[in-house]
Amino acid sequence: MVDFEVVELPETDHVEEGDTAPDFTRPLVNDEFWEDVALSELTEEGPVLLVFYTMDGAFPATYMWNEIRDRNWGSEAQRASEKASGETASSDGRDITIVGLSVSDPYAHKQLIHERGMDYRLFSDPQNGVAEEYGIVNDLDGMAGVSEPRPAVFLLDEDRTVEYAWVAEEWPDFPDYEEIEDAIAGR
């Protein structure tokens, strides 16, 4: 991407594969409203890909959600596309809920969902407590008093056991989308 070493983030003791992902309740925003939802309510319905990303206006948020949207990850978008193509859903292990989390407030989330035209719901965690629980806090230099999660992706089964984990080691850093697709397909 660039011809110099990208800034490294310090080592962190974060949630890893095999761990049980901490449960939390936060406002979960869809394209019409938001309400408090627990992560465990989502995993009870099936596997969940939990995507931590930068605040909504930052360019990595745009890049990541464009990519995920264009790859059509997740049950809702997947079902819609398979319905359109006349094929049946969930025979390929991709019947999974994709959900995001950033420190942006619900109003910003609604705007992002509209701007990106995405069929994914987003948790709002302005005080960054979830990132603390997951060991992925990123204190932002030059923005006093502001921290957010490091970009990170966790694939969780129905018991919130982490089947795949990726946590940013550089700033910025982006998930390996192919690797995540393999992890989802390999379930």
Candidates 52-60, 63-71, 104-112, 164-172 — which segment interacts with another protein by CB under 8 A?
A: 104-112
Query: What single-letter DSSP state applies at residue 161?
Result: B
Closest Cα partner for 50 from 120, 126, 138? Answer: 120
Q: Which of 106, 149, 151, 175 binds another protein (CB under 8 A)?
A: 106
**Min separation Cβ 169 and another protein, Å:** 34
Q: Does 48 bind another protein (CB under 8 A)?
A: no
Residues of this chain, 18-37, that bind another protein according to CB under 8 A: 25, 27, 32-37
CB 160 within 8 A of CB 43: yes
Q: Which is nearer to another protein, 7 or 38 (CB)?
A: 38
Residues 132-167 as b/e (b if ≥16 CB within 10 A, e otherwise) read: eebbbbbeeeeeeeeebbbbbbbbbeeebebbbbbb
Residues of this chain, 151-170, that bind another protein according to CB under 8 A: none
CB 133 within 8 A of CB 149: no
- The residue ranges that bind another protein (CB under 8 A) are 25, 27, 32-38, 41, 106-107, 110
